[in-house]
A = this chain, B = another copy of it.
Amino acid sequence: MTAAPSDESLKRLQDLIGHRFQKPSLLFQALTHASALASNPAGNNERLEFLGDRVLGLVISDSLIKLYPNTDEGGLAPRLNELVRRETCAAVAQEIDLGAVLILAPSESNAGGRQKTAILADACEALIGALYLDGGLEAARAFVERYWSERLANLAHAPQDAKTALQEWSQGKGLAVPDYQIISRTGPDHDPRFIVRVEVKGCDPCEGGGTNKRAAEQAAAEALLFREKIWSPNDAPS
């Protein structure tokens, strides 16, 4: 196992986080990658990552609900996914230079572990879990607001889902709004399956499926956008 990070580097990290840990053991655990503590799975940062993933999801969902008071669930979910995905968490980890203080096995450190997206993202989530346990939801929220507020603001201008993107595109072309029709609804009530067809003037219709009407509409819109080379989900802002 590598040497623990220095007191000085931990002080600097806590300054960047904006929180002084009451229980520094939680901070140590958040920084401890599985490779450094293979013999004790409960002592590495995976449990804190498990918790922090849910803390982050709640804090971001709460922010989105307030930022977008008139947006339905279908518009909120892709924004949430964008903000909590691995690449976003790894980018935040890089902003606070988390890689430098991670506790890794020498082999993992030599293999570039301090720069790996997965390791950085997991450590960032573990840190959020540690903040929650040390200072409650508000301590975790303060950190998330500090590092996610610009990301939240940037989302506002981006087409966030296929239906919105298709509607904006058809409006931009002066066409009528896309027309969605349920083609079929099959399966039992507790596990339905919908097929929806979307039509936009001048394009062949596309179909999409899903376990609810909204998901099937999204899939149909996505198929049409993809086929017409207008947009792909990968265009979402990073």
Contacts and interface: CB of A to CB of B under 8 A. Distances in A.
A51 B61 contact: yes
Interface residues of A, number: 34
A50 B76 contact: yes
A176 B2 CA distance: 33
Contacts of A222: none
A163 B97 CA distance: 36
B65 A46 contact: no
23 contacts: A41-B73, A42-B69, A42-B70, A42-B71, A47-B71, A47-B72, A47-B73, A49-B73, A50-B61, A50-B73, A50-B76, A50-B80, A51-B65, A54-B61, A55-B58, A57-B58, A62-B132, A86-B190, A112-B189, A116-B189, A117-B190, A118-B190, A118-B192
Interface of A: 41-42, 46-47, 49-51, 54-55, 57-58, 61-62, 65, 69-74, 76-77, 80, 86, 112, 116-118, 132-133, 137, 189-190, 192
